[in-house]
Amino acid sequence: MKRLAAFCLAIALSLLPLGGCQGEPTQKRYEYQFFDTFDTLVQIVGYTHTPEEFEDYAQLAHNRFVELHNMYDKFESHPGVNGIAAINLAAGTAPVKAEAEVLDLLEFCTQWQQKTGDMVEITLGPVITIWQEYLARYHLDYDDAQLPPTAQLEAAAALCAPEYLQIDRAAGTVFLTQEGAALDVGAVAKGFATELVASELQAAGWESFSISSGGNVRTCGEPLSDTTTTWSVGIQDPFANAVLASQDQLLDVLFVNDQSVVTSGDYQRFYMVGDQRIHHIIDPATLFPATHYRSVTVVTPHSGMADFLSTALFVMDYEEGRALADEYDVGVLWVFPDGTVQANDTILPLLRDRGGATNKR
């Protein structure tokens, strides 16, 4: 069920390169997808001279996604990998010598946490785990739609604090100093991994491709199409039926090159308790799902930053969020519970419907 939701999201937000070539292009468009990492569908679209060349790049990407998934997975320890699961298991006991990509991700998170007032707090693991258990219970039995007791959330919150995370770069170790503490990098790992893979593909020589990992989209170069100048990325309408979501139900379309587009939404993983929508983005101040918006979409080149900021902005109130977007010059589109939409000046010119953008050659 969780996978189905992620799949629907990926379809709704999938890349929409408007192919169709007049004349013979020197490079052709190919597609590849897989479903075995980050609990979501990863789609790669790109242009190469031959199918073999595309296959090589796509395989490289797939292999790297598997490696990064194994490092960033909190649910399962993978043989030979010292990642998030191993660090959580050793909480309160011993530092773990972690992979370089794990140290990079955790340092990236702590830097951005400090810049954004701990709205995204990767040490919130014990609290997030409770909400995930209640969501899982609901998926096992749709009549079992419950809220966790506040006392349980508060007891878990006592185990959550940024100070409990110690990263020793020189030693290459990570230590959760408090027994019962746990990392959850769900707010950023997929985007960070997508950025790593995209930069490695570029370093390998690929000039024109797009990766969508469950709606975290990273575009590199421009599409080598005769008809379009930019990649198209649909923004899902949070008020549309997710299962039936199609291109007609998009809120708008972004035309971008060399940018990432990431959306955090309350419709991605949720259940209902009465008329309360219990979704997967938790406000650390209340320990309950954040309620300011239906969705927040971020456009900025670095996919890890886009992923981090979409979650952080989802938790922040509008004034604070708008100031943060200005400070870091990121494009943001907010959809409010009453259906109103706000788009800042950075994102507006990139939007097809609201900004009049076009990608026709």
Nearer to Mg ion, 178 or 310 (CB): 310
Nearer to Mg ion, 152 or 291 (CB): 291
Which of ligand AMP, Mg ion, none interacts with 235 (beta carbon under 5 to 8 A by kind)?
none
Q: What is the rounded distance in angstroms from the CA atom of residue 71 to the CA atom of residue 65?
A: 10
- Which parts of this chain interact with Mg ion (CB under 5 A)? 187, 307, 310-311
| Range 247-276, binding ligand AMP (CB under 6 A) | 264, 268
- Provide, rounded to whole angstroms, the least separation between the CB of residue 97 and ligand AMP: 24
Which are the contacts of 81, defined by CB distance < 8 A and separation ≥ 6?
70, 71, 99
- Check residue 148 and report its DSSP letter: P
- Contact string (CB under 6 A) for ligand AMP, positions 49-68, x = contact: --------------------
Choose the binding region for ligand AMP from 36-44, 170-178, 182-190, 249-257 (rule: CB under 6 A). 182-190
The tokens describing 83, both together, are 């990642």
**Which residue in the block uniquely carries the two structure tokens 């990570």?**
174
Residue 315 interacting with ligand AMP (CB under 6 A): yes
Residue 298 interacting with ligand AMP (CB under 6 A): no
CA R_g for the chain: 20
Nearer to ligand AMP, 29 or 292 (CB): 292
Alpha-carbon distance values, 62 to 67, 138, 157, 244 (Å): 9, 32, 36, 28
Number of residues interacting with ligand AMP: please give it, by CB under 6 A: 19
Residue nearest to ligand AMP (CB): 186
Choose the binding region for ligand AMP from 184-192, 236-244, 253-261, 329-337 (rule: CB under 6 A). 184-192
Nearer to ligand AMP, 82 or 310 (CB): 310
- Provide, rounded to whole angstroms, the least separation between the CB of residue 259 and Mg ion: 16
Q: What are phi and psi of 57, to 5 degrees?
A: -65, -45
Nearer to ligand AMP, 225 or 264 (CB): 264
Closest by CA position to 291, among listed 260, 318, 314, 313: 314
Which of Mg ion, ligand AMP, none interacts with 14 (beta carbon under 5 to 8 A by kind)?
none
Q: Hey, what amino acid is at 284?
A: P
Closest by CA position to 304, among listed 91, 138, 157, 113: 113
Nearer to ligand AMP, 86 or 135 (CB): 135
Q: What are phi and psi of 228, to 5 degrees?
A: -125, 150
Half-sphere exposure of 289 (CA within 13 A, CB side): 27
**Which residue in the block uniquely carries the two structure tokens 């785990």?**
129
Nearer to Mg ion, 28 or 280 (CB): 280
Closest by CA position to 246, among listed 7, 3, 6, 8: 8
Which of Mg ion, ligand AMP, none interacts with 121 (beta carbon under 5 to 8 A by kind)?
ligand AMP
Alpha-carbon distance values, 105 to 41, 71, 125, 167, 304 (Å): 21, 10, 16, 11, 9
Q: What is the rounded distance in angstroms from the CA atom of residue 117 to the CA atom of residue 99?
A: 27
Closest by CA position to 182, among listed 164, 203, 205, 201: 164
Residue 282 interacting with ligand AMP (CB under 6 A): yes
Residue 184 interacting with ligand AMP (CB under 6 A): yes
Which of ligand AMP, Mg ion, none interacts with 162 (beta carbon under 5 to 8 A by kind)?
none
- Provide, rounded to whole angstroms, the least separation between the CB of residue 251 and ligand AMP: 17
Choose the binding region for ligand AMP from 62-70, 84-92, 166-174, 308-316 (rule: CB under 6 A). 308-316
Which of Mg ion, ligand AMP, none interacts with 220 (beta carbon under 5 to 8 A by kind)?
none
Which of ligand AMP, Mg ion, none interacts with 252 (beta carbon under 5 to 8 A by kind)?
none
Contact 47, 224 (CB under 8 A): yes
| Range 127-146, binding ligand AMP (CB under 6 A) | 128
CA torsion through residues 264, 268, 273, 277, sign: positive
What residue ranges bind ligand AMP (CB under 6 A)? 120-122, 124, 128, 184, 186-187, 264, 268, 280-282, 284, 307, 310-311, 314-315
